[in-house]
Structure 1
Amino acid sequence: MRRIKYGLTALTLTAIMGSSQALAHTPLCACYDNGDGTVLCEGGFSDGSSASGIEVSVLDANGNALMEGSMNEYSEFEFDKPKGEYSVMFNAGPGHEVEISSADIVE
């Protein structure tokens, strides 16, 4: 029987490349109206990773930034609730963004 000592077969290469997708994590973010004029957003990732330091923007109805910041050490971001329609953008990088409409932020 002949053995191959070096090189990767296409099947092995595909298995290695595909396994990196299994390690991917999905961004998660939820925001709640505290009922006192403030909103609290909590973030994280599907693999349990912290969202500490992840950028967060509060945008007006036209997509203009009203305020910007980042998740704190507890993966939270709290802000004063804007008047009118707005959205919250949790931005963990390309393909890892979550946008939440003010219509979905309730007490």
Structure 2
Amino acid sequence: MRYIERTIARGLALAGLTLAAAGALAHEPVAKCYLLDEQTVRCRGSTNDDEALPGARMEVVAHNGKTLIEAKLDANSTLTFKKPQQAFYVLFDTGPGLQAVVEQEEITKPLPGRAPSWMRNP
């Protein structure tokens, strides 16, 4: 009987861990950044299921490690900033171990006619 109880307990523990892992994966941070023009960048932070995260922290960091801009996302879950002169990346940090990074080289203008709605709103 004890063997069956231990097997059931292990199965329940494994199921609980699987559900916890699935729940954690459902809310991974995602950052997308585009050029509005040659001098202006707009980034949006959300979860991987596209849930907006207004108030979440986003940083623009120089490659030497210096924080250039640190701000919270606005009501549209976006941050708009002047493109730095030096090499940089955008860090979207929603908590311990929950980060997304956008390298400067990945920031481009959206394809014509395919800009996301958050790019069209001021």
Normalising by the residue count of structure 2, what TM-score does the alignment of the two structures yield? 0.75
Q: How many residues are matched?
A: 101
The alignment status of 1:89 with 2:91, answered yes or no, reads yes
Tell me the equivalent position of 2:33: 31
CA distance in 2, matches of 1:92, 1:20: 18
Q: Given the alignment, which residue of 38, 56, 59 partners 1:57?
A: 59
CA distance in 1, matches of 2:23, 2:50: 12
- Residues 50-75 of structure 1: CA distance to partner in whole angstroms, max 9, x if unpaired? 21111111111201001110111111
Identity percentage of aligned residues: 29
Residues 89-98 or 42-51, more deviating: 42-51
Partner SS state of residue 14, structure 1? helix
Q: More helix per residue: 1 or 2?
A: 2
Tell me the equivalent position of 1:9: 9
CA distance in 2, matches of 1:61, 1:69: 18
Residues 10-19 or 65-74, more deviating: 10-19
Partner SS state of residue 91, structure 1? strand
Structure 2 spans left out of the alignment, 5+ residues:
110-122
Partner SS state of residue 10, structure 1? helix
CA distance in 2, matches of 1:48, 1:81: 25
Normalising by the residue count of structure 1, what TM-score does the alignment of the two structures yield? 0.84
Instruction: Kindly report the root-mean-square deviation, in angstroms, between the aligned alpha carbons of the 2 structures.
Output: 1.7
> CA 1:44–1:23 in 2, change beyond 3 Å: closer, same or farther?
same
Shift of 1:17: 2.5
Shift of 1:49: 2.4
The alignment status of 1:48 with 2:50, answered yes or no, reads yes
